[in-house]
């Protein structure tokens, strides 16, 4: 699996939750600034677990507040497994 796949998937997932085009999602912008709320953050955790088979803490979006940070965290976990 290419690292770009994780990044692309995260951008598309966040864009879907916020109902905006993926092109409007900055990977270095805090998710809260983009409009992601706690309900979306929990959905993201569930979707990550379903898609990537990686258990993540419910605080993922707060502990890693940007898509770049989440992607780096996930890549680290995926490479260990």
Nearest to 3 by CA among 81, 49, 72, 80: 72
What mean pLDDT is predicted for residues 15-28?
Answer: 97
Identify the pLDDT of residue 68. 97
Domains located in the chain, CATH noted: 3-80 (1.10.1200.10)
Question: Is residue 2 pLDDT above 60, yes or no?
Answer: no
What's the burial of 21, exposed, middle or buried (CB within 10 Å: 0-12/13-18/19+)? exposed
- List C-alpha distances in Å: 18 to 7, 22, 55: 17, 10, 23
Q: What does the pLDDT look like over 33-48, one tens digit per residue? A: 999 999 999 999 999 9
Largest CA distance in the chain: 33
Report the predicted TM-score, pTM, of the whole model to 2 decimal places.
Answer: 0.90
């Amino acid at each position: 699996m290419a690292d770009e796949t994780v990044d692309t998937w995260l951008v598309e997932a966040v864009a879907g939750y916020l109902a905006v085009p993926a092109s409007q999602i900055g990977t270095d912008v805090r998710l809260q600034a983009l409009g992601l709320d706690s309900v979306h953050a929990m959905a993201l955790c569930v979707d990550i677990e379903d898609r990537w088979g990686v258990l993540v803490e419910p605080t993922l979006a707060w502990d890693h507040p940007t898509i770049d940070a989440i992607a780096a965290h996930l890549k680290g976990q995926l490479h260990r497994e």
